[in-house]
Amino acid sequence: MDTHRIHEELLRRQVRVLVVGCGGTGSAIAAGLPYLHQAMLACGHPEGLHVTLMDGDTISPTNCVRQPFSRSEIGLYKAVVLVNRINIFWGLDWEAVPTHLSDRKALSPSYENGIGRTHIVIGCVDTRAARAVIRDATGNFNTLDYWLDIGNNADSGQFILGEPLNHVNRRARTRLRTVAEWFPEIVDASLDNDGLPSCSAAEAIERQEPFVNQTLAQHALVLLARLFRYGTTSYYGGFINLATGGCAPLPTDSGLWRQATERRRRERKKRKARMIRAA
């Protein structure tokens, strides 16, 4: 069993975190990050976190059912509303970027609040196309240490902390593979549905069980908290199923990656053989 050790520089400096997506999961992550910031400071971290929330969506009536927004906030930007609440309550100076990550400005290396100045990006997006943008961006910037992806369907989901292959994270047997490496289909935009939001509160609840977002967010926050407190971790993600109450960790075992790679290789070989026979 391998053990992952946190990048040492993150224990000596302010850690810049970018949360992409401020819906059900992103808002739950945003609410928990101040607690992580306070815990880091209490345990001796010199500066804790500086967080930027990024989302180009505004609040709709449907968002007021499962997300922490009120009807009086309809039409306002989600990221701005959440950051204002956090800063007022906690006395912080965290920032909001009311745009999508795909915006050219957000992807610019010189933009202070974009992904180019980030150490940890937390993806809380609900389309494969959006994950593909994060995947491409995380490989292009040399300051980015980790990509934490959180995603779910109706009653289950995953959280995976990966080290994108870039200047900081070189090729190595023990590198934490990203969600896009484990599950290539998760960044295949051709598999997305129409992407339209739920048209009613009832449909929104039907599509997603209550508390699935908060459950995944809490597990992801616990992983970060343990990594910063102890400096090491024996797992870097997990899979949650609310229907069965199950939680399966993703251990930091490079052997699992080798097994998965070999299994995919065999599957490709079988598909190719079937195609040859069919021809």
Residue 91 has pLDDT above 80, yes or no: yes
pLDDT of residue 102: 82
User: Of the ranges 52-66, 107-121, 181-195, which is most confident?
Assistant: 52-66
pLDDT digits (tens, 9 = 90+) for 1-16: 689 999 999 999 999 9
DSSP track, 102-149: TSTTTT-TT-TTSGGG-SEEEE---SHHHHHHHHHHHTT-TT--EEEE
pLDDT digits (tens, 9 = 90+) for 140-189: 766 799 999 999 999 999 999 999 998 889 889 999 999 999 999 999 98
How deeply is 173 buried, as exposed, middle or buried, from its count of CB atoms within 10 A (0-12, 13-18, 19+)?
exposed
The owner of tokens 């300051």 is: 143
pLDDT of residue 70: 96
The owner of tokens 């930091």 is: 252
pLDDT of residue 162: 97
Q: Which two tokens stand for residue 251?
A: 């251990």
User: Domain spanning 4-253 has what CATH number?
Assistant: 3.40.50.720
Q: Compute the C-alpha angle 63/67/71, nearest 5°.
A: 50
Mean per-residue pLDDT, 259-276: 80
pLDDT of residue 143: 74
Q: Which two tokens stand for residue 91?
A: 């006395």
Q: Compute the C-alpha angle 261/159/82, nearest 5°.
A: 145
Q: Which two tokens stand for residue 96?
A: 């909001």
Residue 275 has pLDDT above 80, yes or no: no
pLDDT digits (tens, 9 = 90+) for 13-57: 999 999 999 999 999 999 999 999 999 999 999 999 999 999 999
Residue 198 — very low, low, confident or very high, per pLDDT cuts 50/70/90?
A: very low
pLDDT of residue 203: 55
pLDDT of residue 206: 60
Mean per-residue pLDDT, 61-73: 94
Tell me phi and psi for residue 111, to 5 degrees. -80, 120
pTM over 0.85: yes
What does the mean pLDDT of the chain come to? 89
pLDDT of residue 141: 63
Q: Can you tell me the distance from the alpha carbon of 146 to that of 121, in angstroms, rounded to the nearest whole number? A: 6
Q: What length does the chain have?
A: 279
Residue 196 — very low, low, confident or very high, per pLDDT cuts 50/70/90?
A: very low
Residue 200 has pLDDT above 60, yes or no: no
Residue type at 81 in one-letter notation? V
| Domain assignments of the chain as residue spans, ordered by start | 4-253
DSSP track, 145-203: -EEEEEEE-SSEEEEEEE--SSSSS---TT----HHHH-GGGG-GGG----PPPSSHHH
